[in-house]
Amino acid sequence: MNIFADENIPLVCEAFAHFGNVTTFNGRQLSADHLNDADILLVRSVTTVNEQLLKKSNIKFVGSATIGFDHIDLNYLQTQNIGFARAPASNAISAAEYVIAALFSLSQTQCFDLTQKTVGIIGCGNVGSRVLARLEALGVKCLINDPPLEQLLNKNFTFSPLKDILNCDIISLHVPLILDGEYPTFELVNDTFLSELKNGTVLINTSRGKVVDETALLKHANRLSLVLDVWRNEPNINQTLLEKTCLATPHIAGYSFDGKIRGTTMIYEACCEYFNVEKKWRANLPKPPIEKIVFSDQISKEKALHLAILACYDLRADDAKLRNIKNQPESDKYFDQLRKNYPIRREFSTLKVEIQRFDLIELLLKLGFQVGG
């Protein structure tokens, strides 16, 4: 079989080699003419998979190494009897840790105590629920807004109306892009939404760029603290809006190496099951750059947490690289290169923290770190 795969799916050639010939491509430049001889198509979110792309092909299976699927025409795949798989929750831990890293970074630069803030979480699925668990472990008060989930559960779970979320000190968005229906999220964050926010509100978006009306956001940006990982017109992002942010990154919140390998593994295993092929590949992850950190029992809780997080992920480095986009002659290509050449970033679970204090041991474990005495 002939496999066509996005070049940014890690270890994809190694994983799918026993299926046949693997050809990699630039996800934004793929066209129908490339797929004449393809049997399997493996993509990321930058590639729209629909009738226009597949009409000349004999594609039998499409895999998307992403949690979302708004770039996939599922109805068309079903009518053509084309198999499909994605990687739900593969990067959920990474995205949740990004939010925690961003909040600790802001707490340092803006000199606030995170435990004294109220966080509103819009969307409590794979990512939002993990953000909630970590913040509650830290002792942070959280409010949740997720109408579809509230309708589904309808018991033993406390949800808040949107008007209460808008009064929070920090708001973090974790919704899929939904264009219509009972609960659309397209431009959920619009002028009306933003007008209700109090001055100084921290707004974090790691979901989808189109969830936010960027024209309205520019209007209110000067009185808010913005953390943006996703953008309306990637890779041609709004650089005026970029200048208004406190922290900004090139759509890499879920880009931990662990999360990306999970995505590859999930679509590989789904493909094996679809074609009834024996699973022969298993990923071998490299050692993390920092395997262990040792703290004195005299260290403060805040400093210990901040240093442990920085040891795994210093979000400020990604922020600095994106801000350099203003000096690039081809800003769109620079944005994509930042994603393509993203350095290996490991999740909190790969770092062992040695400390004797029980209060910190329990907290570090809940945040996902290994802990030893």
Residue 75 lies in a domain: yes
- Same domain membership, residue 325 and residue 226: no
Residue 283 lies in a domain: no
- Same domain membership, residue 224 and residue 102: yes
DSSP 212: B
- Same domain membership, residue 231 and residue 133: yes
Residue 245: per-residue pLDDT? 98
- Same domain membership, residue 326 and residue 222: no
74 has pLDDT over 70: yes
Catalytic residue, candidates 44, 134, 208, 345: 208
- Boundary-marking domain end, from 213, 248, 283: 248
Residue 29 lies in a domain: yes
Q: Hey, which residues does 294 pair with through a beta bridge? A: 354
Amino acid identity for residue 124 in this structure: C
Here the CATH number for the domain that contains residue 34 is 3.40.50.720
The model's pLDDT over 196-223, given as tens digits with 9 standing for 90+, comes to 999 999 999 999 999 999 999 999 999 9
Helix axes 301-312, 358-367, angle to 10 degrees: 30
- Same domain membership, residue 164 and residue 234: yes
Other beta carbons within 10 Å of 188: 21
| Number of independent structural domains in the chain | 3
- Same domain membership, residue 344 and residue 196: no
The residue segments making up the domain with residue 351 are 292-372
Residue 372: per-residue pLDDT? 86
- Same domain membership, residue 118 and residue 61: no
The size of the chain, in residues, is 373
Q: Hey, which residues does 371 pair with through a beta bridge? A: 353
Residue 334: per-residue pLDDT? 98
Q: Hey, which residues does 43 pair with through a beta bridge? A: 64
Q: Hey, which residues does 354 pair with through a beta bridge? A: 294, 372
Residue 155: per-residue pLDDT? 60
- Same domain membership, residue 271 and residue 232: no
- The model carries a pTM of 0.93
Residue 219 lies in a domain: yes
H-assigned helices in the chain: 12-16, 51-54, 74-79, 92-109, 126-137, 147-153, 162-165, 191-195, 214-220, 239-243, 257-275, 301-312, 315-323, 331-340, 358-367
Measured CA angle at 4 (ends 287, 237), to 5 deg: 75
- Same domain membership, residue 61 and residue 18: yes
Q: Side-chain half-sphere of 242: how many Cα atoms within 13 Å?
A: 25
Report how far residue 66's alpha carbon sits from residue 6's, in angstroms, rounded to the nearest whole number: 12
Residue 116 lies in a domain: yes
- Same domain membership, residue 218 and residue 100: yes
Place of tokens 């662990």: 258
DSSP string, 297-340: TTS-HHHHHHHHHHHH--HHHHHHHHHGGGG-SSHHHHHHHHHH
- Same domain membership, residue 297 and residue 269: no
- 106 token code pair: 């802001």
Residue 373: per-residue pLDDT? 66
The model's pLDDT over 268-291, given as tens digits with 9 standing for 90+, comes to 999 999 999 999 999 999 999 999
Here the CATH number for the domain that contains residue 358 is 3.30.1370.170
Residue 138's alpha-carbon distances to 133, 135, 261, 359, in angstroms, are 9, 5, 28, 11
Is residue 104 a contact partner of residue 301, using CB atoms and an 8 Å limit?
no
- Boundary-marking domain end, from 248, 267, 284: 248
Amino acid identity for residue 206 in this structure: T
- Same domain membership, residue 318 and residue 297: yes
Catalytic residue, candidates 7, 14, 150, 234: 234
159 has pLDDT over 80: yes
Task: Output the CA torsion 110→115→116→121 (10° steps).
Answer: 90
Residue 7 lies in a domain: yes
Strands 170-173 and 40-43: unpaired
Residue 234: active-site member:
yes
Backbone angles phi, psi at 326, to 5 degrees: -65, -20
Residue 282 lies in a domain: no
Residue 346 lies in a domain: yes
Structure confidence at residue 83 as a pLDDT band (50, 70, 90) = very high
DSSP 47: S
Catalytic residue, candidates 251, 262, 345, 346: 251
Residue 71: active-site member:
no
Structure confidence at residue 68 as a pLDDT band (50, 70, 90) = confident
User: What 3-state class would DSSP assign to 289?
Assistant: coil
The model's pLDDT over 315-342, given as tens digits with 9 standing for 90+, comes to 999 999 999 999 999 999 999 999 999 9
